Structure 1
Amino acid sequence: MRTPGMAVFKQENVEDFYEIGEALGSGQFAIVKRCIEKSTGNKYAAKFIKKRLTRASRRGVKKEEIAREVDILQQLQHPNIVALHDVYENRTDVVLILELVSGGELFDFLAQKESLSEEEATQFIKQVLDGVQYLHSKKITHFDLKPENIMLLDRDATLPRIKIIDFGLAHKIQDGADFKNIFGTPEFVAPEIVNYEQLGLEADMWSIGVITYILLSGASPFLGDTKQETLANISAVNYEFDEEFFSSTSELAKNFIRGLLEKETRKRLTIQDALNHPWIKSCGHTEEDSAASEKKAKQLKTKLLKEYTIQSHSSMSQNNTYANFERFAHVVEDIGLMETGLSEVAEAYRTLQGDIEALLSIYNDKEAWYKEERETAKKQLSQACHKFRKVEATRKLVQEDMKAVDVCLESIGKRYNHRQGQLDALRQELNSELQWLQDLMGSLHPEGTNSSIHNRSLSTHVKKALEDLLHLTCEGEVCSEAEQPLTESGINY
């Protein structure tokens, strides 16, 4: 088993093993040609990718980007994904030998029909979902799902098989990694790409939503007159189901599209959610359930889809950079390097300027929203500060009251101690007076039994009376002193 991340290129001449035929299509730095393997006679497609030869050059694709595409393709083997057969490398090119997909684009095939039922549309979307499910199970995001990259293996089959092609922008999503980029076709990119936010598997689901919308209506949901307007529509999720285009479309299909064209990635349908959606699950059922019956009854006109397909093809620039490069490479290298470089810089500047204007428009919208949120937060903070000041003032009043109570309690304690000292002195004085009376009584009566008894009896009565007097006096004074500080302090309980 080949180790992921280790793309293998054969350093041999591809023409020694394959007969290269006519061109099937071209891109900015690639051209696809029909080819036949000499040893088996099997037919394939050879994708010649022009390498960037120097760091300063802007022509060609970086070697590491080609290696990433090859590495991803070498990990994939699924009926709905184009298969990589072999890879060769020479001084100027990397050549991918791919499965030959000769049925043309899905939309071109459907546009040739007089009408299209939702049942047929669902069967094709289901195949796309199956291919994407396989990719997402490997944490791979395509990032460039669009009608041009959804091909048919053989259009003459009863139910043509879908093939997802072109993995030049595909990335493997690493858990926890911060991955942001601005790439893709503006008409089909997700809002998180437009807003330069964290990217993941959810971006493919948005693109499938746009593809489904176009397939069922022949209209593009976010396409504006300019790239800036298109990106602004995507960022604002500005679309609707116009009755002119969706009069024959079921509510179930619209619900499916709404679930995919959801700006918040956590609310957007995952690939498993999409496969389990009633509009998709009813695909291929033989029983006449309500969903299947509704879909079969809906016949979608393909006129608008045909117009969209013609318009999209005519609006695509004829990109024969690779062929021109091959034809005039030596001339350009010798006498036109500076002019070409300046031209490319100017074109890159214009493209960048358009992107900046689109991003600036989005930034201005966000800045207005942040300003409104800031004003609301400022008002709430002001209210909170006012409440805090009131609570702080109340706390200070309570502290002052507690200090006053402490002072009063301290004053009461001091007075109590003072009165206690006075009572102790009075008790000693009374005891002294009592002793004096006892001595006096003893001197007044002669000694003897009767007199002694009488003296003790008298002394006991006198002592008892004095003690009662002392007790009553002490109680009265203590109660009076205990009540007095409370009255003076002015505190009511």
Structure 2
Amino acid sequence: EFFGHTSELAKRFISQLLEKDKKKRLTIQEALSHPWIKNNEHKEEKAQEPRKRERRQLKTKRLREYTIKSHSSMPPNNTYVNFERFAQVVEDIDHMESSFITLAAAHDSLQEDIDALVSIYNEKEAWYKEESEEVRHELSQIRYEFRKVEASKKSLQDDMQAFSCSLTAVGEHFQERQGHFEALRLELSEELRWVQEVVGSFQVDTGGGGGYPNCSFSSVFNNDVNEALKELLNRSCGGELLSGINLDLSETGQQR
């Protein structure tokens, strides 16, 4: 009557534990690996854990009651020792099962924490990857702009160097032309001075204004020469030497 709700597999397990022959009796390791123990372990589910635990505790309680009644009704012999051993094994199994349940709960909690950490890590990794791509794109754009600026700078330096060379050549050419014009101005001044002296001596020799009423021949001649020289200098040097020549002619005219 004590094992009315016990399965056949459990009854065989109990009978093997109560075997009188020690060679045929189950050891602790064999008892832990018995199909009844394994089936109960594999059938555990989180939703039914409290009820299964209560059932196993009830079985342990019934075994204890059965052991006590057997002890009170049976003389001391090896059977009582076997019952005590079996009860102790069942209690150990119950404790181990409780430990396994606690360990499974801790494992589930740890797994949830690990899953949460993995999810956070994946989100952070995706965010860092996106930020890295943006930074890489910005750096690439900056390098491109920098290369453009460097190319523009090099081109500007080349242009400035070419302009400097051209400016130096123009300056040298200007100095050369200025020296040439200065020599020409001096030469023309000497020639004009000589012409004016010749004209002055011619006027003294002929006397009077000749065919030029109200004016002297030298003044008319000086004006004609001055106009011709202006036109010549305007064509050659753009009027750069006119001021000096006009000054010489004016001074000479005043002297004459």
TM-score interval for Structure 1 and Structure 2 normalised by the shorter chain: 0.3 to 0.5
Higher-Rg structure is 2
TM-score, with length taken from structure 2: 0.41
Comparing both structures, which one devotes a greater share of its residues to helix? Answer: 2
